[in-house]
Structure 1
Amino acid sequence: MILAYQYRLRLTKKQVIEMERWLEMLRFQYNYLLADRFRWYEENRCSINACPLVCHLPELRNNPDYFSQKRTLPQLKKDRPWYADIHAHVLQDCVKRVDLAFKRYLKGDSKGKKSGRPRFKGKGRYRSLTFPSIGKDPIKGNLLKLPKFGWVKMIYHRPIPEGFKIKTATITKKAEGYYVTLSIQDDTIPEIIPVNEVSNPIGIDMGLKSFLIKSDGSEVDIPQYYRKAQKRLKKIQKAVSRSKKGSSNRRKAVTKLGKAHKKVADTRKDFHFKTAKDLLDSHDLVAHEKLNIKGLARTRMAKSVLDAGWGQFLSILATKAENAGLLTIGVNSRNTSQNCSNCGKKVPKKLKDRTHFCPHCGYVADRDINAAKNVLNLAVGHPVRSKACRATEPLGGVGKKPALSR
């Protein structure tokens, strides 16, 4: 099991200057290695079945890859002695980032999806560095030892669990300071509970009116952190736009804007963690829809969809469930709002229709609750009828139409 714990660093002024110097040197090296890749690619590529009549052949050399570029680092330290201040593993990680970015551009990732052309890093755009190994017992109290950098103070707000070993450390520069992300590993793997042994499953339907609605009828309100902060963000953005480029006022305004956006992101992430914890504390299986979030982000609902942060929430939920030995199952969302969760027959309805009424069996329920029940039924493979679910059914039971109110 691999986890990531993040802590805020309290660097001294001298350490901040040194860290910024490291990041700038790594940025220069990243751009140089990336340019070397592009140079070889432009000089050596040509059509398979065509060749120009007049061509000027460049100096023949092998295609630069991760290993060949890594072998240039000793010569780099001889030509530019100040690069010897940076730990060798950090420089090697910079080479690895170039290799990964270029491979995704040409070949794509494991699923074959290609990324865009890698861009050169402008000033201040190289914001993180990684120590692939940081030695044995690097933490003493609230101090962390970084190889070749020294001891740094951090806010050690939660201790590393027993049995976990620290594998890597990534220093990241954010709007209000520096953070360290420790990757910790434990070889023990918790046993995942089988589907047929779950005792208290739940289905959830994600939405924009409510963040999620459970199959037992309860719901979680949507916080809309970005929309609530939009007025303040707009005011700060105006100050950035009106200030002169390169001025101190613009730099201060950009920092203030970054802090405001980070606050929105942090509060949203905290809400996701707490919601996931509440779900997993009460249920051993959580069924949810497989959402095409990228597709929804291209519609008129883009701002609301991205403000809800469904993708981040489902990722947190899956990780927390796996660490606890619980289950999360994603199901195809096709017709989960249309089908009746009681009899399975399709009941077409428009988006404005918020109540599900089945003419076949007479089952009446809120549209989203019906969808959440369908999601749960698809996840476990059979209809699930708990006490909480039966409490949401109309008076008189399933199959009888509710009495009309005057």
Structure 2
Amino acid sequence: MITAYQYRLRLAKSQEAEIEIWLDMLRCQYNYLLADRFNWYEQNRCSINSCPLVCHLPTLRDNPDYFSQKKTLPQLKKDRQWYKAIHSNVLQDCVKRVDLAFKRYLKGDCNGRKSGRPRFKSKNSYRSLTFSAFSKNPIKGNKLNLPKFGWVKMVYHRPIPDGFKIKTATVTRKADGYYVTLSLQDDTIPSVIPVEQASNPIGIDMGLKSFLVKSDGTEIPIPQYYRKAQKRLKKIQKTVSRSKKGSNNRKKAVGRLGKAHKKVADTRKDFHFKTAKNLLDNHDLVAHEKLNIKGLAKTKMAKSVLDAGWGQFLSILSNKAENAGLVTVAVNPRNTSQNCSNCGKKVPKKLKDRIHSCPDCGYTEDRDTNAAINILKLAVGHPVGNKAYRVSEALAGVGKKPTLNL
């Protein structure tokens, strides 16, 4: 199991200056390696499907991949002596980033989704570096030993449990200072319980009226952190737009704007963590919809959808459940709001209709609660139209499937 702990760094001014020098050198090396990839790509491809019989063919060279570009690092240190100050693993991580960005551009990720053309990094866009080699005891008190950089102070608010091994440490420059993210490995993973043995399952329906509604009828209100901070953000943004480009006043205003946005993001993330913990403390199976968040973010509800942060919350929920040996199940949201959770009949409703009332069985319930019950039924293996699986059984969380009365 791989998990990550983040701590804030308390760097001295000399250490901050050294980090900035390292980031600038890594940015230059990233841009150089990316340009080398682009040069090979342009020289070894043809934009048309046929060529004349007599034409000039450039001298082809091997494809610059991760291993070939990594072999150029020793020569880089000989030609440019100042690169010797950077640890070799940090330079190798820079090569790895170039390789990953170019592969996603040409081949796509594991799901086949391709990214756009990689961009050259500006001074403010290359903000992190990764260490991957540590001594046996890299942490002493509130200090962390970074290879070839030295000891740095950090706010050690969360002790690392015994048995965890530090794999990597990523130092990131953010709007309000520097942070280090420790990637930890723990081999003591609890076994995940089977879905059939879940004793206290729950279904949740994500929404914009409430953040989520549980299948037992309880709901969690939506905080809307961004909308509450809009007035303050608008005022700071106006100061930035009225400042002269390149001036010190503009840099200060940009810094204030970044801190304001980071505060909104941090409070939203804290809310997501606390909500996920509350769900997993009380339930061993959480069923939710498999939402198309990217599609919803292109509609008129984009600001509200992004302010809710459903994607971040569901990612946190699944990761925390896996670490605790619990289960999260994503189900198809098709007709979960339309079908009756008591008899299974489809009852068409518009978005403004917030009460579900079935004309066949007379079951009446809140629209979101009805959808959450349907989500739970789908997660535990019962179709929505199964008449033998009633609401009381869904709320009771019975693990075994009931016999069907055909």
TM-score (norm 2): 0.94
Q: 1:9 & 1:130 partners in 2: Cα distance?
A: 15
Q: 1:60 offset after TM fit, Å? A: 3.1
**Partner in structure 2 of residue 208 of structure 1:** 208
- Measure the CA separation in 1 of the matches of 2:137 and 2:54: 63
Find the aligned partners of 2:320 and 2:18 in 1 and give their Cα distance: 37
In structure 1, the residue matched to 2:7 is 7
Counterpart contact for 1:343–1:361, Cα < 8 Å? yes
CA contact 1:5–1:183 (8 Å) conserved in 2: yes
Q: Contact 1:128–1:172 (CA<8 Å) still a contact in 2?
A: yes
Which residue number in structure 2 is paired with residue 169 of structure 1? 169
Structure 2, unmatched stretches of 5+, are 383-388, 397-406
The answer as to 2:271 corresponding to 1:254 is no
Secondary structure (helix, strand or coil) at the match of 2:239 reads: helix
Paired residues of 2:336 and 2:375 also in contact (CA < 8 A):
yes
Q: Is contact 1:296–1:305 with CA below 8 Å preserved after alignment?
A: yes
Give the C-alpha shift of residue 161 in structure 1.
1.1
Check conservation: 1:143, 1:151, Cα contact below 8 A: yes
Q: Per-residue deviation at 1:245?
A: 1.0
**Alignment check: 8 A CA contact 2:376 2:394 kept:** no
Pair 1:154 & 2:145 matched: no
Q: How does 1:51-90 map to 2 (within 5 A)?
A: 51=51, 55-90=55-90
Where do 1:100-179 residues align within 5 Å? 100-179=100-179
Shift of 1:44: 1.3
Q: 1:166 to 1:192 in 2, by over 3 A?
A: same
Q: 1:283 — aligned with what?
A: 283
Contact 1:193–1:327 (CA<8 Å) still a contact in 2?
A: yes
How does 1:303-342 map onto structure 2 within 5 Å?
Answer: 303-342=303-342
Q: 1:111 and 1:133 mapped to 2: Cα distance?
A: 31
Letter of the structure 2 residue corresponding to residue 13 of structure 1 = K
Q: 1:102 to 1:153 in 2, by over 3 A?
A: same
1:245 alignment partner in structure 2: 245
Per-residue CA deviations over 1:46-97 (Å, capped at 9, x if unaligned) read 1574125675443432111111111111111111000000000000000000
> % of aligned pairs identical?
80
Give the whole-Å Cα distance in 2 for the aligned partners of 1:106 and 1:52.
27
Q: Deviation per CA, 1:201-226, whole angstroms, max 9, x where unpaired?
A: 11100000000000111000000000
SS in 1 for 2:178: strand
Q: SS of the counterpart of 2:229?
A: helix
Q: What is the deviation of 1:307?
A: 0.1
Contact kept, 8 Å, 2:7 with 2:157, in 1: the verdict is: yes
Seen in structure 2, the aligned counterparts of structure 1 residues 55 and 45 have a Cα distance that, compared at 3 Å, is same
Amino acid at match of 2:131: F
In 2, are the aligned partners of 1:217 and 1:389 still within 8 Å (CA)? no
Alignment of 1:31-42 (within 5 A): 31-42=31-42
CA contact (8 A) 2:356 2:365 kept: yes
Question: For the Cα contact (< 8 Å) 1:216–1:388, is it kept in 2?
Answer: no
Of 149-158 and 52-61, more deviation after overlay is shown by: 52-61
Give the structure 2 partner of residue 401 of structure 1.
Answer: none
Counterpart Cα distance in 2 of 1:251 and 1:117: 29
Q: Matches of 1:264 and 1:302 in 2, distance apart? A: 17
Q: Secondary structure at the match of 2:116?
A: coil
Q: Which amino acid aligns with 2:78?
A: K
TM superposition shift of 1:319: 0.6
User: What does the per-residue CA deviation read over 1:102-128, in whole Å, with 9 as the maximum and x for residues that have no partner?
Assistant: 010011111111000000001121000
Q: Is the 8 A contact 1:169 1:182 kept in 2?
A: yes
3-state SS, counterpart of residue 42 of structure 1:
helix
Question: Which blocks of at least 5 consecutive residues in structure 1 are unaligned?
Answer: 391-406
Q: Distance in 1 between matches of 2:312 and 2:91?
A: 31
- Of stretches 39-48 and 319-328 in structure 1, the one that deviates more from structure 2 is 39-48
Deviation at 1:352, TM superposition (A): 1.1
Do the aligned partners of 1:34 and 1:120 also contact (CA within 8 Å) in 2?
A: yes
Note the C-alpha offset of 1:386. Answer: 4.7
Contact 1:217 1:388 in 2 (8 A): no
The alpha-carbon deviation at position 143 of structure 1 amounts to: 0.3
CA distance in 1, matches of 2:76, 2:59: 21
Structure 1 counterpart of 2:225: 225
Aligned counterpart, 1:265: 265
What CA distance in whole angstroms lies between the structure 2 residues aligned with 1:372 and 1:244? 52
**Cα deviation, residue 43, structure 1:** 1.2
Question: In terms of mean alpha carbon deviation, does 3-12 or 238-247 score higher?
Answer: 238-247
Contact residue 210 and residue 220 of structure 2 kept, 8 A: yes
Partner of 1:403: none
The aligned counterpart of 1:301 is 301
Q: For residues 375 and 76 of structure 1, what CA distance do their matches in structure 2 show? A: 57
CA root-mean-square deviation = 1.5
- For 1:49 and 1:133, the matched residues in 2 are separated by 48
State which drifts further: 191-200 or 28-37: 191-200
SS, match of residue 64 in structure 2: coil
Matched residue SS, 2:82: helix
Tell me if the contact between 1:338 and 1:346 (Cα under 8 Å) persists in the aligned partners: yes
Quote the Cα distance in structure 2 between the aligned partners of 1:60 and 1:295. 43
What's the secondary structure of 1:179's corresponding residue?
A: strand
- Cα deviation, 1:28-54, whole Å, max 9, x if unaligned, reads 000000001001111111157412567
Q: Is the 8 A contact 1:9 1:178 kept in 2?
A: yes
Change (3 A) 1:52 1:64: farther
Q: CA deviation at 1:133?
A: 2.2
Q: Partner residue of 1:369? A: 369
